[in-house]
């Protein structure tokens, strides 16, 4: 399952670059972990209470517990955006790569 090609596809999906000389080692290690994951194949989940809930132990809260729609500068960032120390900016815009 996790042959080299698959690792390359995962890299693309995760925007990670693994150097060619590392691909084999990476896929071997990933394969080892995958075999650990396969233990779950033996688990019978038919007795699970809440199989339709995919969030695990999801916390439930009432709608009323949510914040009101009141404008406010969040956290202690009070004055200017300069405080956020954005990495590369030009005329207030964030400088990003070519699209």
The rounded radius of gyration (Å) of the Cα atoms in the chain is 23
Asked if 83 is part of the footprint of another protein (rule: CB under 8 A), the reply reads yes
Rounded to 10 deg, the angle between the 4-14 and 20-37 helix axes is 90
Among 4, 23, 24, 59, binds another protein (CB under 8 A): 59
Sketch the per residue contact string, 20 through 49, with another protein: x for CB under 8 A, - otherwise: --x---x--xx-xxx-xxxxxxxx-x-xxx
Asked if 79 is part of the footprint of another protein (rule: CB under 8 A), the reply reads no
Binding residues for another protein, total number by CB under 8 A: 78
Burial class for 84, CB neighbours closer than 10 Å (0-12, 13-18, 19+): exposed
């Amino acid at each position: 399952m996790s042959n080299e090609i698959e690792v390359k596809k995962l890299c693309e999906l995760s925007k990670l670059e693994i150097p060619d000389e590392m691909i084999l080692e990476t896929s071997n290690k990933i394969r080892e972990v995958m075999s650990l994951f396969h233990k779950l194949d033996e688990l019978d989940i038919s007795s699970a209470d809440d199989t339709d809930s995919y969030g695990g132990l999801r916390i439930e809260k009432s709608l009323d517990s949510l914040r009101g729609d009141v404008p406010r500068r969040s956290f202690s960032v009070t004055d200017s955006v300069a405080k956020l120390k954005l990495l590369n900016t030009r005329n207030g815009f964030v400088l990003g790569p070519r699209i």
